[in-house]
Amino acid sequence: MRQLVCFALALGLTGPALRAADAATARARLDAAVAVLQSPAVGEEDSRRIRADLAALAAESPVTESGIAARYLLGRLRQIEEGIGEPPEFTSLLSEHPQHPLAQLAAVKVILRRLYAEGPETPGARLQAAEQLGRVVTLAALRCDFHQAMGDAYIFHGDRREPALRHLRAAEALGIPSAAARANVLVQIGELARLTGDGAVAGWSYRKFLADFPRDLRQQIVRDRLADSGGSAP
C-alpha cells in the first residue's frame, strides 16, 4: 500500500512535467514543419516528409494546440494541392472542436470550396449547404468573411438580390478590415438595396461610401445612383 502511494505521488509530480515536455516537443516539430514549408526551395521529397511528420503529430496528440494546428495545415494542403473540398482533417476538426479558431477557419474554407465546386450540384443546393455549414462560424472575424462570401455567391449564382443584401449588410455591420473590400461591399449594398426598392438603405450605403472613400474612382457614378434613388450627396 505504501509503495502504491509513493508511485502515485511520483506520477502526480512528474506527469505535468512530462506532458509539458511533450507539448514543447510537439510545438517544436510543428514550428519546424511550418518553417520548412515556408522555404521557397522546399522540394517534393521535403514536402512528403513534412506531411508525414504532420500526420504523425496529429495522430499522437490530436487534441493539443499543436495537434489541431497540424490537422488544419494538413487539411489545407489537401485542399490546395489535391483539390479536395472537404478534407477528412477538417471534418474531424469541425466535429471535435467546433469552437476552435482553426476549426472555424476550416469551416469557411470548406464553404468557399463548396460554393464554387465543379459538379452537378445545383446552385440552390450549394447555397443551402453553405448556409447550413456557416452556422458553426461564430467568431466575429470569420463570421464577417462568411457573410461576404455568401453575399458574393448569391450574386454569382443567379443574382439572388435579397439574400445577398442580407449577408452583405451583416458583413458590413461586423466591420470589414480591408478598406478595398469594404468599399466594394458598401457599393454592393447600395446597388442591391436600390434594385430591391429599399431607398433608405441604398441612400445610407451610398453616402457612407462617398464619405469614407473620397478618392475612389466610383465617386461620380455613386453620386448619380444616389441622386436616382432620391438622395443627396454628403
Partner 1 sequence: MSPRLKSTLLWALLAVVFGLCTWHVARVSFRKGATVDHRRVVRVGHFMLHSGIRDALQAVIDEYERRHPEVHIVQVPVPDRAYPQFLRTQLVAGTAPDILQIGAHFTGMDELRARYFEPISAIVEEPNPYNAGTPLAGRRWRDTFLDGLENGEAYSAALRHYYGIPLAVGGVRILYNAPLLRRITDSTALPQTYAQLIELCRRIESFAQTQAQPVVPFAGSRLSALFLMSPLFSIVNQRLYYDLATDHTLRLTDWDYGLAYLQGRWNFDRPSIRLGYALARELARYQKPGFYQLNTSDATLQFLQGQSVMLVSHVLDVTNLKAQTDFEIAAAPIPALTRDDPVYGEGVLGPVTEIDTKAAANLGLVRGAPQREAAVDFLRFLGSKPGMEIFSARSNWLPSVEGVAVPAWMEPLRPQQAGYAGRFFAEIAGKGDARFVVGNQYHLLFGQGGGVDALLGVIRESYGPAMRTDLMKDVRESNHNLRRQEPALLGAYLATEAAPPAAGRAEAGGFWRDVSSQNGYEARMLRTQLILSQTNNSP
Among 192, 201, 202, 210, binds partner 1 (CB under 8 A): 192
The one segment of 14-22, 55-63, 91-99, 186-194 that binds partner 1 by CB under 8 A: 186-194
Cell numbers found for residue 66: 499543436
Enumerate residues 118-137 that contact partner 1 by CB under 8 A.
Answer: 118
Cell numbers 436600390: residue: 194
The one segment of 2-10, 12-20, 109-117, 226-234 that binds partner 1 by CB under 8 A: 109-117
Of 60 and 123, nearer to partner 1 (C-beta) is 123
Q: Does 187 bind partner 1 (CB under 8 A)?
A: yes
Cell numbers 502526480: residue: 12
Among 38, 99, 122, 232, binds partner 1 (CB under 8 A): 38
Q: Does 177 bind partner 1 (CB under 8 A)?
A: yes
Of 84 and 181, nearer to partner 1 (C-beta) is 181
Cell numbers 510545438: residue: 27
C-beta separation of 209 from 189 below 8 A: no
Among 49, 166, 181, 204, binds partner 1 (CB under 8 A): 181
Cα 20 to Cα 23, 51, 53, 70: the distances in Å are 5, 24, 20, 18
Q: Does 34 bind partner 1 (CB under 8 A)?
A: yes
Cell numbers 522546399: residue: 42
Give me the sign of the Cα torsion angle 116, 122, 127, 133: negative
Query: Between vectors from CA 180 to CA 176 and to CA 184, what angle results, nearest 5°?
Result: 80
3 state SS of 218:
coil
Q: Does 86 bind partner 1 (CB under 8 A)?
A: no
Of 175 and 230, nearer to partner 1 (C-beta) is 175
Among 29, 78, 109, 169, binds partner 1 (CB under 8 A): 109
Contacts of range 214-223, beta carbons closer than 8 Å, 24 or more positions apart:
216/183, 218/183, 218/187, 222/187, 222/190
Work out the burial of residue 230: count CB atoms within 10 Å of its CB; fewer than 13 is exposed, 13-18 middle, 19 or more buried.
exposed
Cell numbers found for residue 22: 511533450
Rounded to a whole number of angstroms, the minimum distance from the CB of residue 114 to partner 1 is 10
**Which parts of this chain interact with partner 1 (CB under 8 A)?**
27, 30-31, 33-35, 37-38, 40, 69, 72-73, 76-77, 80-81, 101-102, 105, 108-109, 112-113, 115-118, 139-142, 144-145, 148-149, 152, 155-156, 159, 174-178, 181, 184, 187-188, 191-192, 195, 215-222, 225
